[in-house]
Amino acid sequence: MNHVLKQKTWSVYVAGGLAGILLCLSVLITGKYVGASTTFVRSAGLIEKIFAPERVAKMDYFVKTEVKIDWQWMFVAGIFFGSLLASKLSGDYRLTALPPMCERRFGPDRLKRWIAAFVGGMVAMFGARMTGGCPSGHGLAGSSQLAVSGYVSLICFFIAGMIMARFLYGGGENR
């Protein structure tokens, strides 16, 4: 068992399948379906509340979403620690400033990557909130329930993502 937990990688099908079992058990035990993007709304609200509590209390979206630490907030926090634990156990944990593929294509300029990551994150979250979920909430929880909203969103995520990737990397064979 110890040996398995320390392995650098598991078959992606096994890891994915086990995540499927986890999803089912979560729904069975607590009634909670996985998701991640609402947590960013709650966190943004919690931060804004420090500076302008009256304003946050009056904003439609924060009223609708309820600015508080909930099941999903703790779930997202748990993802960080689970990943930290797994990578520390296998010795795969490494402070990495630039993704290798990104560096090969765009060079070692960190600032450029930080700006792209920031802008990308901002755009992605705006879109996720508009469609009401991200690859976890729509892609995993939604699709598993056969929700039409899940499949429509997931297909759109990939279409636009592929267009963006093509724009950034071109259609070349370079890995």
Site for other proteins in 131-160 (CB under 8 A): 131-160
CA distances from 142 to 11, 31, 76, 136, 137 (A): 24, 14, 17, 8, 6
User: Residues 6 or more apart from 67 whose CB is under 8 A from it?
Assistant: 42, 45, 46, 49, 56
Which of 13, 51, 54, 91 is in the footprint of other proteins by CB under 8 A? 13
Q: How far is the CB of 136 from other proteins (least distance, A)?
A: 5
119 binds other proteins (CB under 8 A): yes
* Main-chain phi, psi angles of 106, to 5 degrees: -115, 5
Nearer to other proteins, 77 or 107 (CB): 77
77 binds other proteins (CB under 8 A): yes
Q: How far is the CB of 112 from other proteins (least distance, A)?
A: 11
Nearer to other proteins, 18 or 53 (CB): 18
Which of 10, 52, 53, 57 is in the footprint of other proteins by CB under 8 A? 10
Residue 76 · residue 36 · CB < 8 Å: yes
- Sign of the torsion angle spanned by Cα atoms 81, 86, 91, 95: negative
